[in-house]
Structure 1
Amino acid sequence: MLNPVWLKTFATVSACHSFTEAARQLGLTQSSVSEHIRRLEDAVGRRLFVRDTHSLAMTADGEAMLAHAGVILQALERAESQFRGPRLKGRVRLGSSDDIALGPLPTVLAAFRRAHPDVELEIVIGMTGRLYELLDAGSIDLLIGKRRVGDKRGVPLFTGRLEWIGRTGTRVDLDQPLPLILVAEPSVTRAIVLDTLAQTDFRWQVVCTSSSHSGCIAAARAGLGITVRAQYLSGRGLSQPLNAPSLPTLPDIEFIALAAKRLSRPAGTLLQLLYDSDLRGSWIDE
């Protein structure tokens, strides 16, 4: 087994190019430093240094060990840092659009829960337009959802093109108004779809309005009409209409994380996890 104390001594000697200086920096005797290096070499069965009374040089095995030692010592430092401080406690009020909640969000929440089991999560699922209102009113700390048209706030997570979806096998009758299933106001997606259609020659009719993305999915599965989703998000049991290329082209939509101006430490920790997580887009090609 590689003793971390030996590894630290080894890394210090490597940086100093001197047993004497390493002993001074570590607060050890020179004989202790020599003993640590000897025991490390015995543990791996390789010479790590070539030394005489005038010089100290690292062997090829020593260079390989230095790379491993750096990784191991950094991992130990991160682990010790986490457990040195007090356990994170408090509450985070997170707002999420339901399409994100049905997609990649659970993985992030699981990682946060494992790292901070004493933090209470309060999750509000709703349309992004409503989540903006809750954030501005101070009712939630963070939101994950679509970027509102004209709003520059938030950190982008990923971008997906909106696409038409309906019950598998659907062919839209282009001689009739497009039968739309849309979420209710305030909805970023609804506004984008209707603004896009207003710039075309297509006629449309809203045949069903739902308070959630899940409701739109259910209505589309029932064959009531067509709805929209961003690529990569949940729409099980649905597919693009057979004549989708003949339908109006919908724009890309940007998904963001947006935080209140003042965040508690738990909320700030979750926000950083969101920034560092697969929500930034690496899950998209899975």
Structure 2
Amino acid sequence: MLDLTQLRSFVVVEQMGSFTLAAERLGLGQSTVSQHIQRLESAVGRRLLARDTHKVLLTTDGEALLSHARAMLAIEAQVQSQFRGQKLRGNLRLGVSEDFVTSQLPAVLEDFVRSHPSVDLELTVALSGTLYEMQDNGEIDLVLAKRRLGDARGRLVYREPLVWLARDPEQVLSGGPLSLIAFPPPSVTRSIALEALGRSQVAWRIVCTCGSLSGLTAAARAGMGVLVQPRSMAPSGLKEIGKGQLPVLEDVEFVLVPRKGADQALVSALSDDILGKVRSLRANA
């Protein structure tokens, strides 16, 4: 019989990529978490985790166990929810900006879904400007999106620089108007990029517009032009264009914006989980 406490430590170590960060998240000592992993490895008779110079990684056997561990912990949460009358229940409409979804959303939501199995999430993925418009119309309860510097709305999650990206920087900068790959309006990154180019009097033309980051990434990887993204969300296969070659872009801030009148218990619970998880991920990056 596998021990749920040991499985929980195993899952959190995998999430955080670090025994130290996992111990902090669990409220345990690092030695205790290490003991949990050692006992779990003894119970299954396999090595589950391996360390490299930067973080803790799953072995092949660890990867095989992970989905089962998550399922067992999810069942435990469901049982506890059924027999505890004070668990959160209801529906929460969450809006998340397009670029955040592909990079960090799965890790952000995993703990919340397991801790609050009676909460139904209705997820909307769109551009930040679109999400704010939908929230103003009463269609979204909580928005996780970008804002420009100086915008006071929402609760700050973190601030990050925007960067210019291309498959082959030398080729896209070789002459003529700068070829841009961009989200359609209302896009925060698009507005910042065009304003920076305008201030520096750099000629440009938009060669590809798409509301999906996967579509923009495909165009950039095909060598069509330059893409602007937060640095930590830069897609693989693209290179950051060096300083001095294009205008400096202002930073963006990722924020949580609740809707007035939304269920405050649900909004607060998810907001706290998002803040804790994102900041842990960034500390471990």
For Structure 1 versus Structure 2, the TM-score category normalised by the shorter chain is: 0.5 to 0.7
Q: Is the 8 A contact 2:154 2:258 kept in 1?
A: yes
Q: State the Cα deviation string for residues 185-215 of structure 1 (Å, max 9, x = none).
A: 1111111111111100211111111112222
| Corresponding position of 1:3 | none
| Corresponding position of 2:196 | 196
Unpaired stretches in structure 2, ≥5 consecutive residues: 1-79
Q: Is structure 2 residue 252 aligned with structure 1 residue 253?
A: yes
Q: Which amino acid aligns with 1:134?
A: M
Q: Is structure 2 residue 206 aligned with structure 1 residue 206?
A: yes
* 2-structure distance, mates of 1:212, 1:156: 25
Instruction: State the shift of 1:117 in Å.
Output: 0.8
- When residues 135 and 280 of structure 1 are mapped into structure 2, their CA distance, relative to the original with a 3 A threshold, is farther
2:252 alignment partner, SS class = strand
2:208 alignment partner, SS class = strand
Q: Is structure 2 residue 233 aligned with structure 1 residue 233?
A: yes
| Corresponding position of 2:122 | 122
Alignment of 1:205-224 (within 5 A): 205-224=205-224
* 1-structure distance, mates of 2:168, 2:174: 17
* 1-structure distance, mates of 2:135, 2:268: 15
* 2-structure distance, mates of 1:204, 1:131: 28
Q: Which amino acid aligns with 1:194?
A: L
| Corresponding position of 1:166 | 166
Q: Which amino acid aligns with 2:207?
A: V
Instruction: State the shift of 1:179 in Å.
Output: 0.3
Q: State the Cα deviation string for residues 11-42 of structure 1 (Å, max 9, x = none).
A: xxxxxxxxxxxxxxxxxxxxxxxxxxxxxxxx
Instruction: State the shift of 1:129 in Å.
Output: 0.5
| Corresponding position of 1:63 | none
Alignment of 1:1-286 (within 5 A): 84-148=84-148, 151-168=151-168, 170-241=170-241, 245-264=244-263, 265-275=265-275, 277-280=276-279, 282-283=281-282, 285-286=284-285
* 1-structure distance, mates of 2:225, 2:152: 33
Q: State the Cα deviation string for residues 236-263 of structure 1 (Å, max 9, x = none).
A: 221224x554111111111111110122
- When residues 271 and 230 of structure 1 are mapped into structure 2, their CA distance, relative to the original with a 3 A threshold, is same
| Corresponding position of 2:38 | none
Q: State the Cα deviation string for residues 86-109 of structure 1 (Å, max 9, x = none).
A: 232111111111211111221120
Find the structure with the greater CA-based Rg: 1
**What root-mean-square deviation, in Å, do the aligned CA atoms of Structure 1 and Structure 2 show?**
2.3
Percent of residue pairs bearing the same amino acid type:
39
Q: Is the 8 A contact 1:163 1:229 kept in 2?
A: yes
Unpaired stretches in structure 1, ≥5 consecutive residues: 1-79
Divergent runs of 4+, >2 A = 82-87, 148-151, 168-175, 265-268
Q: Is the 8 A contact 2:166 2:172 kept in 1?
A: no
Q: State the Cα deviation string for residues 38-59 of structure 1 (Å, max 9, x = none).
A: xxxxxxxxxxxxxxxxxxxxxx
Deviates more, 1:175-184 or 1:259-268: 259-268
| Corresponding position of 2:12 | none
Deviates more, 1:174-183 or 1:82-91: 82-91
| Corresponding position of 1:77 | none
2:153 alignment partner, SS class = coil
| Corresponding position of 1:14 | none
Give the helix-richer structure, 1 or 2. Answer: 2
* 1-structure distance, mates of 2:169, 2:155: 37
Q: Which amino acid aligns with 2:246?
A: L
* 1-structure distance, mates of 2:260, 2:96: 18
2:282 alignment partner, SS class = coil
Q: Which amino acid aligns with 1:137?
A: N
Q: Which amino acid aligns with 2:160?
A: G
* 1-structure distance, mates of 2:277, 2:232: 13
Q: Is the 8 A contact 2:167 2:239 kept in 1?
A: yes
